[in-house]
Structure 1
Amino acid sequence: MAQTNGNDPFSPPVSQERVVITNKHGERLVGLLHHTASNKIVVLCHGFIATKNDSLILDLAEALTKEGISVFRFDFSGNGESEGQFEYGNYRKEADDLHSVVLYLCQKSYDIAAVVGHSKGGDVVILYASVHDDVGTIVNLSGRFDLRKGIEERIGEGSIDKINKEGYLDVKDKSGMNGGLGSYCCAITYSLSFVCVFFTVLEPM
């Protein structure tokens, strides 16, 4: 367990501990616990194609611990050091990952002050709050509102129509080889249909 207090002599001492949590699918989620003298803790959730070591997540962790608040940052399944297969959509599973983290921290007698998600993680924490009522404060940082936008720019024009019609999409790389992303695209459709409905409920009248 590492002991740090950054470059600020007035910052409270912070211990850092690598933590492994098993999710409901039996996959090991790897996180880093920044423990201050307080049992109040904030959980940080990274965005798409990112990890717990994303610069914004690190900045948030530093700012919170300087205020004496403990922090837990982790890799969703299929990302970073955590086990599992990376998928494009997968919002429900990542919300399940977050629930496993929350349960673990509660068992360790932490008082979860907030869960904070950036980008895709912002959508995940809102989805989490729609299912669970065990965290009082949910913070969405730059989460995408309309998840339909940006998909075709990433995987090709007409891809959404093809997914809706055939249920999958084979994505080829620049060399013409199959990219093996069919399962990712199924996850896109599954997640889009659910999360967009959820956001529609919250849309101001």
Structure 2
Amino acid sequence: MPTELFTFPGHAGHALAARLDRPEGPHLATALLAHCFTCGKDIAAARRIAGRLAGMGIAVLRFDFTGLGHSGGEFENTSFTSNVDDLQAAAEALEGRGMAPDLLIGHSLGGAAVLKAATRLPRVKAVVTIGAPFDPGHVTHNFGDALERIDADGQAEVTLAGRAIKIGKGFVDDVRAETLGPAIAAMKKALLVLHAPRDSVVGIENATRIFLAAKHPKSFVTLDEADHLISRAEDVEYAAEVIAAWAGKYLDLRPPAPPIGAPEGITRVSEADPEGFRQDVQAGPFHHTVADEPTAYGGTNRGFTPYQFLAAGLGACTSMTIRMYARRKGWPLAHVSVDVTHDKVHAQDAGGSTSRIDHFLRRITLEGALDADQRARLMEIADKCPVHRTLEHGATVRTELVSASA
């Protein structure tokens, strides 16, 4: 996906580092993503969610809050209120580019911030929280004994996730005073609450309170075994899938007309795991799946292999073709299933030369009160499946280099 790096002024005028992930195809909507407390825009969860949404046609802006990551300013001088102000500044930066956000996504304290900011952004249609606290003051539980030093000295160093960071008294006082209930009730946006039941940092009861405070439409989806940072690849993938599917209900993601010569539109395959083989497969804004290789071949076994996709195309086309014919004839076909296996065999086994060729074995099961003639005719119809004909007759593949970078 194309990525643009730029800066914009935050709440206090400091330059905030931003990353705008754009769709490779048509731009259908825009999302603004707020990272978790003291994290950054480039954590794995943010990258994966942004990539999945970009594949759906949704541009995603993620940025580092003041004093974090590559952004300017000092974190100890920030507060929850300033985070909300930074979010508004990010939305204004997007609007200045003609890309006012339609969707807000917030992780942990970033989730609380998007709930607060949503009331200020009338063009936003939907909001997603991931492991968000209902009470922003909940974050101070992570400060331990440092709270007394913060109260006494105005700031103190706190170790969070193995990293030392300075927390100021203004931040503590601000989150302690913040109440999200009224803002959630007045939000008037569609809301999706994602939370893990075993989240040991922000308990699941926070999700319940957020959900109960919100007006409909609202949805609550559990992240099962995920941890607070959604550190496992499978949990991030699931969260991204849920957000992408849910957002489609509330954002106008109708694609433009397909290009000439491609009546079904473009199927886009993009790398999801540069260290392995996992691929995002996107067919328009509504259909997404994953391709991969088995673990024995260096993959993570998260999706179909390329040949399994090919076999699935043959099987699906066969089943559809048989159903269409039986329906037109009014025959009592109760159910059809097709098992397809792929192998490379010696051509001599198929009556040809000694070279190796691809061989697909297709086993068709026809259920229902069909007589012998009907079954025989349906088996003949199976060979008229368009994908079958393409595989048998062959096809040409023309390849063009779109762009290259050093």
Which TM-score tier does this pair reach, normalised by the shorter chain? 0.7 to 0.9
Give the whole-Å Cα distance in 1 for the aligned partners of 2:10 and 2:157: 32
Question: Could you list the per-position Cα deviations for residues 55-104 of structure 1 after superposition, in whole angstroms to 9, with x for gaps in the alignment?
Answer: 11011011111212111111011110000111387111111111111111
1:4 aligned residue: none
2:2 aligned residue: 15
**Contact 1:89–1:191 (CA<8 Å) still a contact in 2?**
no
2:171 paired residue among 173, 176, 187: 187
Question: Could you list the per-position Cα deviations for residues 106-142 of structure 1 after superposition, in whole angstroms to 9, with x for gaps in the alignment?
Answer: 1211142201010010011011124443422121111
Question: Could you list the per-position Cα deviations for residues 183-203 of structure 1 after superposition, in whole angstroms to 9, with x for gaps in the alignment?
Answer: 61232112220x2x2336755
**Contact 1:89–1:188 (CA<8 Å) still a contact in 2?**
no
Assess, with a 3 A threshold, how the Cα gap between structure 1 residues 26 and 65 changes in structure 2: closer, same or farther. same
For the pair shown, the structure with the greater C-alpha radius of gyration is: 2
Assess, with a 3 A threshold, how the Cα gap between structure 1 residues 51 and 150 changes in structure 2: closer, same or farther. closer
Assess, with a 3 A threshold, how the Cα gap between structure 1 residues 172 and 118 changes in structure 2: closer, same or farther. closer
2:122 paired residue among 130, 133, 148: 133
Task: List alignment gaps of at least 5 residues for structure 1.
Answer: 1-13
Pairing of 1:194-205 with structure 2 (within 5 A): 195=178, 197-199=179-181, 202=185, 204=212
2:243 aligned residue: none
Give the whole-Å Cα distance in 1 for the aligned partners of 2:91 and 2:139: 31
Assess, with a 3 A threshold, how the Cα gap between structure 1 residues 29 and 169 changes in structure 2: closer, same or farther. closer
1:35 Cα deviation after fit: 1.5
1:75 aligned residue: 64
Give the whole-Å Cα distance in 2 for the aligned partners of 1:84 and 1:141: 26
2:48 paired residue among 49, 59, 66: 59
2:87 equivalent to 1:98? yes
Task: List alignment gaps of at least 5 residues for structure 2.
Answer: 186-208, 214-406
TM-score relative to the length of structure 2? 0.40
2:34 aligned residue: 45
Higher relative contact order (CA 8 A, sep 6+): 1
Assess, with a 3 A threshold, how the Cα gap between structure 1 residues 133 and 173 changes in structure 2: closer, same or farther. closer
1:31 aligned residue: 18
**Contact 1:43–1:71 (CA<8 Å) still a contact in 2?**
yes
Assess, with a 3 A threshold, how the Cα gap between structure 1 residues 117 and 172 changes in structure 2: closer, same or farther. closer
Counterpart of 1:31 in structure 2: which amino acid? A
Give the whole-Å Cα distance in 2 for the aligned partners of 1:60 and 1:107: 24
Counterpart of 1:77 in structure 2: which amino acid? T
Provide the aligned length of Structure 1 versus Structure 2: 181
TM-score relative to the length of structure 1? 0.75
Question: Which deviates more from structure 2 when the two are superposed, residues 59-68 or residues 127-136?
Answer: 127-136
